[in-house]
Amino acid sequence: MCGRYYVDDDTAREIEKLVRQVDERMKQASAAGGPLQAKDIHPSEVAPVLVGDGQNVCCRWQRWGFPGFHGKQLIFNARSESVTEKRMFRESVGQRRIVVPAAWFYEWNRNKKKNIFYRKDQPVLYMAGFYNRYQDEDRFVILTTAANDSMQPVHDRMPLVLEQDEIRKWLAEDVLLDAFLHKVPPPLERRTDFEQMSLFASANSK
Protein backbone atom coordinates (compact mmCIF):
# COMPACT_ATOMS: atom_id res chain seq x y z
CA MET A 1 0.00 0.00 0.00
CA CYS A 2 0.94 3.61 -0.37
CA GLY A 3 -1.71 6.14 0.59
CA ARG A 4 0.43 9.13 1.50
CA TYR A 5 4.01 10.24 0.99
CA TYR A 6 6.14 13.29 1.74
CA VAL A 7 8.24 15.67 -0.34
CA ASP A 8 10.66 17.85 1.62
CA ASP A 9 13.19 20.52 0.67
CA ASP A 10 16.00 17.98 0.29
CA THR A 11 13.79 15.92 -2.01
CA ALA A 12 13.05 18.98 -4.12
CA ARG A 13 16.75 19.76 -4.43
CA GLU A 14 17.58 16.17 -5.36
CA ILE A 15 14.87 16.15 -8.02
CA GLU A 16 16.21 19.38 -9.45
CA LYS A 17 19.79 18.08 -9.38
CA LEU A 18 18.83 14.81 -11.05
CA VAL A 19 16.91 16.53 -13.79
CA ARG A 20 19.73 19.05 -14.34
CA GLN A 21 22.20 16.20 -14.69
CA VAL A 22 20.05 14.37 -17.22
CA ASP A 23 18.22 17.17 -18.99
CA GLU A 24 19.87 20.40 -17.68
CA ARG A 25 16.57 22.07 -17.10
CA MET A 26 13.23 21.94 -15.29
CA LYS A 27 11.28 24.32 -17.48
CA GLN A 28 8.30 21.98 -17.71
CA ALA A 29 7.95 21.77 -13.93
CA SER A 30 8.35 25.48 -13.34
CA ALA A 31 5.87 26.41 -16.05
CA ALA A 32 3.26 23.89 -14.97
CA GLY A 33 3.38 23.99 -11.22
CA GLY A 34 5.85 26.46 -9.81
CA PRO A 35 8.57 25.69 -7.25
CA LEU A 36 8.54 22.45 -5.28
CA GLN A 37 7.45 22.75 -1.66
CA ALA A 38 7.77 20.51 1.38
CA LYS A 39 4.44 18.83 2.12
CA ASP A 40 2.53 15.61 2.56
CA ILE A 41 1.12 14.38 -0.75
CA HIS A 42 -2.37 12.82 -0.56
CA PRO A 43 -4.33 11.03 -3.29
CA SER A 44 -6.14 13.51 -5.59
CA GLU A 45 -3.38 16.13 -5.14
CA VAL A 46 -0.98 17.37 -7.81
CA ALA A 47 2.65 16.30 -7.35
CA PRO A 48 5.97 16.27 -9.25
CA VAL A 49 6.85 13.12 -11.18
CA LEU A 50 9.73 12.18 -13.46
CA VAL A 51 8.86 11.17 -17.02
CA GLY A 52 10.83 10.14 -20.08
CA ASP A 53 10.96 12.55 -23.00
CA GLY A 54 12.92 10.91 -25.78
CA GLN A 55 16.46 10.53 -24.46
CA ASN A 56 15.79 12.97 -21.62
CA VAL A 57 14.19 12.80 -18.20
CA CYS A 58 12.05 15.76 -17.15
CA CYS A 59 9.89 16.74 -14.21
CA ARG A 60 6.17 17.30 -14.70
CA TRP A 61 3.19 17.87 -12.45
CA GLN A 62 0.41 15.28 -12.42
CA ARG A 63 -2.56 14.43 -10.22
CA TRP A 64 -2.33 11.34 -8.04
CA GLY A 65 -5.08 8.83 -8.75
CA PHE A 66 -7.15 7.52 -11.64
CA PRO A 67 -10.89 8.24 -11.46
CA GLY A 68 -12.70 5.07 -10.40
CA PHE A 69 -15.79 3.46 -11.80
CA HIS A 70 -18.88 5.67 -11.68
CA GLY A 71 -16.70 8.48 -10.30
CA LYS A 72 -17.16 7.23 -6.75
CA GLN A 73 -13.63 6.13 -5.90
CA LEU A 74 -10.06 7.09 -6.60
CA ILE A 75 -7.58 4.43 -7.72
CA PHE A 76 -4.13 5.47 -6.56
CA ASN A 77 -2.24 2.13 -6.36
CA ALA A 78 -1.89 -0.83 -8.73
CA ARG A 79 -0.48 -4.27 -7.96
CA SER A 80 2.71 -4.93 -9.93
CA GLU A 81 1.99 -8.67 -10.14
CA SER A 82 -1.26 -8.20 -12.06
CA VAL A 83 -1.02 -4.72 -13.59
CA THR A 84 -0.43 -5.98 -17.15
CA GLU A 85 -3.59 -8.11 -16.90
CA LYS A 86 -5.90 -5.21 -16.00
CA ARG A 87 -7.54 -3.42 -18.92
CA MET A 88 -7.51 -0.11 -17.03
CA PHE A 89 -3.72 -0.30 -16.51
CA ARG A 90 -2.22 -2.46 -19.26
CA GLU A 91 -1.57 0.18 -21.91
CA SER A 92 -0.44 2.86 -19.44
CA VAL A 93 2.18 0.74 -17.68
CA GLY A 94 3.43 -0.41 -21.06
CA GLN A 95 3.74 3.04 -22.62
CA ARG A 96 3.52 5.80 -19.97
CA ARG A 97 5.75 4.93 -17.05
CA ILE A 98 6.83 7.51 -14.47
CA VAL A 99 8.91 7.74 -11.30
CA VAL A 100 7.49 9.36 -8.17
CA PRO A 101 10.18 10.93 -5.93
CA ALA A 102 9.57 11.24 -2.20
CA ALA A 103 11.45 11.84 1.03
CA TRP A 104 9.46 9.02 2.62
CA PHE A 105 6.07 7.35 2.62
CA TYR A 106 3.68 6.38 5.39
CA GLU A 107 2.07 3.10 6.33
CA TRP A 108 -0.27 2.23 9.21
CA ASN A 109 -0.08 -1.08 11.05
CA ARG A 110 -3.02 -3.08 12.44
CA ASN A 111 -3.01 -0.91 15.57
CA LYS A 112 -3.35 2.20 13.39
CA LYS A 113 0.11 3.42 14.35
CA LYS A 114 1.71 5.47 11.59
CA ASN A 115 5.12 4.32 10.39
CA ILE A 116 7.50 6.32 8.21
CA PHE A 117 9.66 4.49 5.66
CA TYR A 118 12.70 6.11 4.05
CA ARG A 119 16.14 5.45 2.57
CA LYS A 120 18.99 5.75 5.03
CA ASP A 121 21.63 5.89 2.31
CA GLN A 122 20.09 8.72 0.25
CA PRO A 123 17.67 11.64 0.80
CA VAL A 124 15.16 10.54 -1.85
CA LEU A 125 13.37 7.30 -2.62
CA TYR A 126 11.93 6.69 -6.07
CA MET A 127 8.62 4.87 -6.54
CA ALA A 128 7.65 3.27 -9.85
CA GLY A 129 4.35 4.32 -11.40
CA PHE A 130 2.54 5.14 -14.61
CA TYR A 131 0.02 7.67 -15.88
CA ASN A 132 -2.88 8.19 -18.24
CA ARG A 133 -4.71 11.20 -19.65
CA TYR A 134 -8.16 11.95 -18.25
CA GLN A 135 -10.04 14.87 -19.79
CA ASP A 136 -7.57 17.76 -19.61
CA GLU A 137 -4.92 16.44 -17.19
CA ASP A 138 -2.45 13.61 -16.64
CA ARG A 139 -3.07 11.35 -13.63
CA PHE A 140 -0.67 8.83 -12.11
CA VAL A 141 -0.79 5.65 -10.07
CA ILE A 142 1.94 4.18 -7.84
CA LEU A 143 2.82 0.51 -8.24
CA THR A 144 2.89 -1.72 -5.18
CA THR A 145 4.51 -5.11 -4.64
CA ALA A 146 4.93 -7.72 -1.92
CA ALA A 147 6.57 -6.32 1.21
CA ASN A 148 10.29 -6.93 1.68
CA ASP A 149 11.82 -7.82 5.03
CA SER A 150 11.95 -4.21 6.23
CA MET A 151 8.24 -3.66 5.48
CA GLN A 152 6.72 -6.99 6.57
CA PRO A 153 6.41 -6.13 10.30
CA VAL A 154 3.98 -3.35 9.36
CA HIS A 155 2.22 -4.34 6.12
CA ASP A 156 2.23 -7.05 3.45
CA ARG A 157 2.40 -4.52 0.56
CA MET A 158 4.73 -1.64 -0.26
CA PRO A 159 5.56 0.72 -3.14
CA LEU A 160 7.78 -0.64 -5.91
CA VAL A 161 10.90 1.34 -4.96
CA LEU A 162 13.63 1.84 -7.58
CA GLU A 163 17.31 2.59 -7.26
CA GLN A 164 18.39 5.92 -8.72
CA ASP A 165 20.37 4.22 -11.48
CA GLU A 166 17.23 2.32 -12.52
CA ILE A 167 15.18 5.44 -13.28
CA ARG A 168 16.10 5.76 -16.95
CA LYS A 169 15.66 2.03 -17.56
CA TRP A 170 12.23 2.01 -15.95
CA LEU A 171 11.11 4.98 -18.02
CA ALA A 172 12.47 3.90 -21.38
CA GLU A 173 13.39 0.22 -21.68
CA ASP A 174 10.21 -1.74 -22.43
CA VAL A 175 11.99 -5.10 -22.55
CA LEU A 176 12.81 -4.78 -18.84
CA LEU A 177 9.23 -4.13 -17.76
CA ASP A 178 8.48 -7.65 -16.54
CA ALA A 179 11.74 -7.83 -14.59
CA PHE A 180 10.99 -4.51 -12.87
CA LEU A 181 7.46 -5.62 -11.99
CA HIS A 182 8.89 -8.62 -10.15
CA LYS A 183 11.88 -6.97 -8.47
CA VAL A 184 12.33 -6.89 -4.69
CA PRO A 185 12.59 -3.28 -3.42
CA PRO A 186 15.74 -2.26 -1.52
CA PRO A 187 15.72 -2.26 2.30
CA LEU A 188 14.15 0.76 3.98
CA GLU A 189 14.52 2.37 7.36
CA ARG A 190 11.48 2.79 9.60
CA ARG A 191 10.47 5.14 12.37
CA THR A 192 7.16 5.86 14.08
CA ASP A 193 5.34 9.11 14.74
CA PHE A 194 6.15 8.70 18.44
CA GLU A 195 9.86 8.37 17.71
CA GLN A 196 9.77 11.42 15.46
CA MET A 197 7.96 13.50 18.10
CA SER A 198 10.51 12.38 20.69
CA LEU A 199 13.36 13.53 18.46
CA PHE A 200 11.73 16.95 18.02
CA ALA A 201 11.13 17.24 21.77
CA SER A 202 14.77 16.40 22.52
CA ALA A 203 15.98 18.96 20.03
CA ASN A 204 13.73 21.67 21.43
CA SER A 205 14.83 21.02 25.00
CA LYS A 206 18.49 21.69 24.25
Each domain of the chain, given as residue ranges in start order, spans: 5-205
Contact (Cβ atoms closer than 8 angstroms) between residue 17 and residue 122 = no
The predicted model gives 117-133 an average pLDDT of: 92
Instruction: Report the alpha-carbon distance of residue 203 to residue 19 in Å, rounded.
Output: 34
The predicted model gives 40-61 an average pLDDT of: 88
Residue 91, pLDDT score: 97
pLDDT above 90 (res 112): no
The predicted model gives 195-201 an average pLDDT of: 41
Q: How confident is the model at residue 59 (pLDDT cuts 50, 70, 90)?
A: confident
* Cα→Cα distances 148→157, 158, 167, 189, Å: 8, 8, 20, 12
* Cα→Cα distances 18→23, 26, 36, 149, Å: 8, 10, 14, 29
Instruction: Report the alpha-carbon distance of residue 116 to residue 100 in Å, rounded.
Output: 17
Helix, strand, or coil (residue 75): strand
The predicted model gives 178-192 an average pLDDT of: 95
Q: Beta strands 125-134 and 114-118: pairing type?
A: unpaired
CATH architecture observed for domain 5-205? Alpha-Beta Complex (3.90)
pTM: 0.79
